[in-house]
Amino acid sequence: MAHEKPALRERYLRLRGGISKAAHKKWDAAIAERLEEHLRLMAGRASETPVVAAYMSHAGEPDITSCLDKLSRAGWKVVFPKTERGTHSLYFYEVKLPAESGVFGRGPFGIREPVPDETTLVDAADIDFVLLPGVAFSEAGVRLGYGGGYYDRWLAGDGAKPVRIGIVYNMLVMDELPRASHDILVHQIVTETGVRVCQAQH
């Protein structure tokens, strides 16, 4: 099954690439609104400050900046990943939003990443929610990523036990996707149409 991933990734990236600017804008706003409401409901009346691991939108991924700005202003800790290409590792740094100039730089894949000297490293065990971008997701929570395995390694590491939330457009939620033994499922998926609780919870 794993050998199917490159062809599926290419197909779904082409599909995402065909989304109009108007649809992106409309769907992004809907996703951001639903995501903010969902996260606030899950956090409830927690006495400690919620910590959410987010991402910087890249190459047609849903842009959830408006949601993250609102959460940061409300006192949430919002953290972003920095990649270590040699070890395929992720490290998360807290960023106050809206971000000041110099807080983000370009990472090895052209994605904006936090600059360590301008931000604060956050322990994996302190992260309550992780928002996972992806090329596509399945109804059962399988994530088709970009092939680097960064998130799977981080989630499999010691200490990282967040609620895993996939962020994707509804047209890219599939009935089934191939899953390798190391692929970690998401618990929920947020799209412009609503929130899905995934069938598989392990």
Quote the pTM value. Answer: 0.93
Domain 2-197, what architecture?
Answer: 3-Layer(aba) Sandwich (3.40)
What angle (nearest 5°) sits at the alpha carbon of residue 55, between those of residues 53 and 57? 160
Phi, psi of 191 (to 5 degrees): -125, 180
pLDDT digits (tens, 9 = 90+) for 70-104: 999 999 999 999 998 888 889 999 999 988 888 99
pLDDT digits (tens, 9 = 90+) for 12-70: 999 999 999 999 999 999 999 999 999 999 998 666 899 999 999 998 999 999 999 99
Q: Provide the H-helix boundaries in the chain.
A: 5-17, 21-43, 65-73, 150-156
Question: Which comes out higher in pLDDT, residue 12 or 107?
Answer: 12
